[in-house]
A = this chain, B = another copy of it.
Amino acid sequence: MIESKLKELGLQLPPPPPPGGIYHPVVIVDKMLYVSGQVPIQSDGSMIFGTVGKDMSVEDGQRAARQVGLTMLATIRDQLGSLDGIKRLVKTLGMVNCEPGFGSQPLVINGFSELMVELLGEQNGKGARSAVGMILPRGVAVEIEAIFEMF
């Protein structure tokens, strides 16, 4: 169960971000949970901006990706009341703010994926994944959307 695992690891979730547009933060169809693209919100509510490989290192990008994971969990808990309905990660689209010539998107998105494995385990914490580069809103360093399977 993610809630007790979060406590065990001493992880704090940031404040859930208000929707930054006309969408639902999460949508559930049967047992599939679709989560809108999440950005890295810090504990004080501020976002992590940057172009990875240019004004931000891969390591800082990884930390941003991990923070996206914590933000995603904050969003899901805010919408559903608890994280314990989550069974496993199914699919992730990991998007890194970068410019042509940058090639370490998978390393960056590992920051998110490691958190999911810590919380859901090797089997259920890994999903299918793409990790690619694009131009992200407001210059946030990382944005990730995901599909989870619920119990």
Where the two chains meet, the residues of A that have a C-beta atom closer than 8 Å to any C-beta of B are 20-27, 29, 32, 34-37, 51, 90-93, 95, 98-107, 109-110, 113-114, 117, 126-139, 143, 145, 147, 149
A125 to chain B, nearest CB (A): 8
Quick check: B24 and A139 within 8 Å, CB to CB?
no
Which residues of chain B are near A128, meaning CB under 8 Å? 23-27, 34-36, 145
Which residues of chain B are near A51, meaning CB under 8 Å? 100
Q: Closest residue of chain B to A89, judged by CB?
A: B27
Given contacts A29-B32, A29-B90, A105-B137, A23 and B99 within 8 Å (CB-CB): no
A22 to chain B, nearest CB (A): 4
